[in-house]
Amino acid sequence: MSSSSSTSPPPPSSSPSVGRLNHVAIAVPDLEAAAARYRNVLGCQVGEKQDLPEHGVSVVFIDLPNTKIELLHPLGDNSPIAKFLSKNPSGGLHHLCLEVDDIQESLDFVSEKVRVLDKKPKIGAHGNPVAFLHPKDSDGVLLEMEEVKPAK
């Protein structure tokens, strides 16, 4: 088993510049019930539901001090979330979203090493370009990259 240490070499200079954990996404069988639980039981700041047909999802974001939780529910039978919930009826952890500062450069670099699910980025829930990497190439965890330009 390998482990990281302070002496590990720096990443290649052309690798993506990964920033914050933008969100952790959870697929839920009942979006209203899940949102109410985060609002009323955990006392979190819960946003409005958004429908995103181009992604086949309804989504509610929960703001935390340092990141967000994205609650995902299928919008239609062809939704990737419908397939996920058919295999995981109680719901579950769906993906992690990492911020990068240039998504096309990041995709060009990582696509030589892992399967990229979107050759071209799509516009995600925050109006920024997003793309996904195959979970089977990243320890069983679906990874989303979201382009967030560094503040000037």
Ligand X SMILES: CC[C@@H](C(=O)O)C(=O)SCCNC(=O)CCNC(=O)[C@H](O)C(C)(C)COP(=O)(O)OP(=O)(O)OC[C@H]1O[C@@H](n2cnc3c(N)ncnc32)[C@H](O)[C@@H]1OP(=O)(O)O
Q: Which residues are catalytic?
A: 144
Strands 50-52 and 57-63: antiparallel
User: Per CB under 5 A, does 28 bind Co ion?
Assistant: no
Is 132 near ligand X (CB under 6 A)? yes
The one of ligand X, Co ion, none whose footprint includes residue 100, by CB under 5 to 8 A per kind, is none
CB within 8 Å of 95: residues ≥ 6 apart = 24, 25, 132, 135, 141, 142, 143, 144
Among 34, 35, 57, 110, contact with ligand X (rule: CB under 6 A): 57
121 binds, among Co ion, ligand X, none (CB under 5 to 8 A by kind): none
Contacts of 37 (CB under 8 A, 6+ apart): none
Region of 11-19, 32-40, 133-141, 143-151 interacting with Co ion (CB under 5 A): 143-151
